[in-house]
């Protein structure tokens, strides 16, 4: 199985709680909160630049880094975020897009002088969006991927803590591996052998326990940035829609 | 070509990880149905059908002392004198599975178990434990016999059931005419 690069603790504080801490906390609190926020959102911003805007990965890395330095750190962007105005990730994405437009404008102004190439690419990419792809789709996909991974990590930890490696094991090899890792689907016979299942009823009960546990973990991850039950459901539907539409 | 999305995973595959409502339905693939049926037939009776002790607590008659004990569904079906109460319990289990939203067993497997219980009751007891008329039963047995994953023992039982249904038509016709 692929080595996971996500830390399940990343979602342990609510997103808006982190935003408030990053904007108004003491210096140490601000630093920590900002660190956690960036860890949560930067991969999705990077995905937006690469898959939504068509930048080369190294250029996307440079842009994200510059965005963090010039907008988030120097201009205190986080302090302007307002929960009443919508999702934090939409706020962040809008800020990134504006940043790109400004960069493109700068690049056009600099066309008279020699350029490093990156500026040219920014100008070109910002001016022509990729046909048929919503600019935020890659971002939402990356976010969905991250949320799913966090839910799975949480489930795995819960199973370990509860002494139920069978619940995680069955879910991992029958669902997670084939869907997320491209692993072959293990045959029912292999599951019976590996998990010493006494009957199909036990197999199904184990699977349903796993699925319910995963659903609860996934919802708890989303609950940390979507406040109410209705917002959690809306977020699930939004993420599902963006993925199901391909 | 399949869109592999941002992480080498097709978005629709990722979407399935957000589909939290679908429970057990569709979990097992068609090429696994035979293995699921075999497992169900071979499993200990209590593990396969319900809570431990459910059968004896229900006042079910035990098989005659000279007969082999019934430890599994397969034992029941191959038993020379299967207690009809056990077959009725198997039939009810299959019906419950079909009604259960969690789908303990695939529908195809519950259908086969249901048919096995009523055919064995009819041939060996001999009792009708279902209100299925012969025409419907023959239709169902034809369906079951057409399943490629069906095991040889169940296939043999269904063929005997089909013969029993067919043999009864002339008997009934002569009784009605006579």
pLDDT tier for residue A99 given thresholds of 50, 70 and 90: confident
> What percentage of chain B carries pLDDT values higher than 90?
45
Which is higher by pLDDT, B132 or A139? Answer: B132
Measured from the Cβ of residue B168, the count of other Cβ atoms closer than 10 Å reads 13
Predicted confidence at residue A118, as pLDDT, reads 54
Q: Is A68's pLDDT higher than 80?
A: yes
Containing A132, the helix (H) or strand (E) segment is none
Q: What is the pLDDT of residue A135?
A: 47
Are B16 and A239 in contact (CB < 8 Å)? Answer: no
Taking the CA of residue A155 and the nearest CA in chain B, the distance in Å comes to 13
Q: Which residue of A has its CA nearest to B102?
A: A208
Note the ipTM here.
0.81
A1 pLDDT tier (thresholds 50, 70, 90): very low
Query: Closest Cα of chain B to A26: distance in Å?
Result: 37
Contact B17 A180 (CB under 8 A): yes
pLDDT, mean of residues A111-130:
50
Size of interface A-B (CB pairs under 8 A): 112
For the question of whether the overall pTM of this predicted structure is more than 0.95, the answer is no
The model's pLDDT over A202-212, given as tens digits with 9 standing for 90+, comes to 998 899 899 99
Write the secondary structure of chain B as one string of H (helix), E (strand) and C (coil): CCCCCCCCCCHHHHHHCCCCCCCCCCCCCHHHHHHHHHHHHHCEHHHHHCCCCHHHHCCCCCCCCCCCCCCEHHHHHHCCCCCHHHHHHHHHHHHHHHHCCCCCCCHHHHHHHHHHHHHHHHHHCCCCCCCCCHHHHHHHHHHHHCCCCCCHHHHHHHHHHHHHHHHHHHHHHHHHHC
Mean pLDDT score, B97-123: 89
Q: Phi, psi (5° rounding) for residue B133?
A: -80, 170
Name the least confident of A3-12, A183-192, B19-28: A3-12
Let me know the angle formed at the C-alpha of B28 by A196 and A187, rounded to the nearest 5 degrees. 50
pLDDT of residue B44 exceeding 50, the answer is yes
- Tens of pLDDT, residue by residue over B139-164, are 999 999 999 999 999 999 999 999 98
Contacts of A197 in chain B (CB under 8 A): 39
Inter-chain CB proximity B43 and A199 less than 8 Å: yes
Taking contacts as CB-CB distances below 8 angstroms, the residues of chain B near A204 are 24, 27, 102-105
Q: Distance (Å) from the C-alpha of residue A50 to the closest C-alpha of chain B?
A: 9
Smallest Cβ–Cβ distance between B36 and the set A144, A188, A214 belongs to A188
Residue A164 has pLDDT above 80, yes or no: yes
Inter-chain CB proximity B6 and A47 less than 8 Å:
yes
Q: A124: distance to nearest CA of chain B, Å?
A: 22
């Amino acid at each position: 199985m692929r080595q996971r690069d996500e830390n399940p603790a990343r979602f342990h504080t609510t997103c808006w709680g982190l935003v408030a801490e990053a904007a108004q906390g003491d210096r140490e609190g601000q630093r920590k909160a900002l660190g956690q926020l960036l860890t949560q959102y930067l991969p999705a911003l990077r995905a937006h630049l690469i898959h939504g805007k068509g930048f080369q990965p190294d250029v996307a890395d440079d842009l994200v880094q510059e965005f963090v330095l010039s907008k988030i750190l120097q201009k205190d962007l986080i302090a302007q975020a307002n929960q009443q105005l919508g999702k934090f990730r939409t706020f962040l994405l809008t800020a990134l897009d504006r940043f790109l437009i400004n960069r493109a404008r700068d690049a056009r102004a600099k066309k008279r002088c020699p350029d490093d190439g990156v500026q040219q690419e920014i100008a070109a990419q910002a001016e022509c969006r990729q046909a048929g792809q919503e600019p935020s789709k890659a971002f939402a996909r990356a976010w969905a991927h991250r949320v799913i991974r966090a839910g799975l990590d949480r489930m795995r930890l819960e199973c370990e803590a509860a002494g139920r490696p069978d619940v995680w094991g069955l879910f991992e090899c029958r669902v997670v591996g084939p869907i997320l890792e491209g692993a072959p689907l293990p045959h029912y016979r292999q599951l019976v052998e590996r998990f010493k299942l006494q009957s199909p009823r036990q197999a199904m009960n184990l699977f349903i326990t796993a699925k319910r546990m995963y659903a609860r973990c996934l919802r708890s991850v989303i609950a940390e940035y979507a406040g109410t039950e209705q917002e959690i459901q809306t977020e699930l539907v939004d993420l599902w829609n963006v993925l199901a539409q391909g | 070509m399949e869109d592999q999305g941002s992480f080498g995973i097709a978005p629709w595959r990722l979407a399935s990880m957000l589909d939290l409502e679908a429970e057990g339905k569709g979990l097992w693939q068609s090429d696994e149905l035979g293995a699921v049926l075999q497992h169900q037939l071979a499993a200990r009776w209590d593990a396969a059908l319900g809570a431990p002790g459910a059968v004896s607590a229900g006042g079910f008659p035990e098989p005659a002392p000279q007969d082999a004990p019934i430890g599994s569904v397969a034992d029941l079906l191959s038993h020379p004198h299967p207690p009809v109460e056990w077959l009725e319990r198997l039939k009810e289990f299959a019906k419950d599975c079909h009604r259960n939203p969690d789908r303990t067993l695939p529908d195809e497997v519950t259908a086969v178990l249901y048919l096995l219980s009523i055919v064995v009751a009819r041939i060996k007891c001999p009792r009708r434990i279902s209100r299925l008329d012969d025409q419907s039963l023959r239709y169902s047995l034809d369906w079951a016999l057409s399943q490629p994953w069906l095991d040889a023992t169940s296939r043999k039982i269904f063929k005997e059931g089909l013969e029993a249904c067919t043999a009864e038509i002339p008997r009934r016709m002569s009784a009605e005419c006579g």
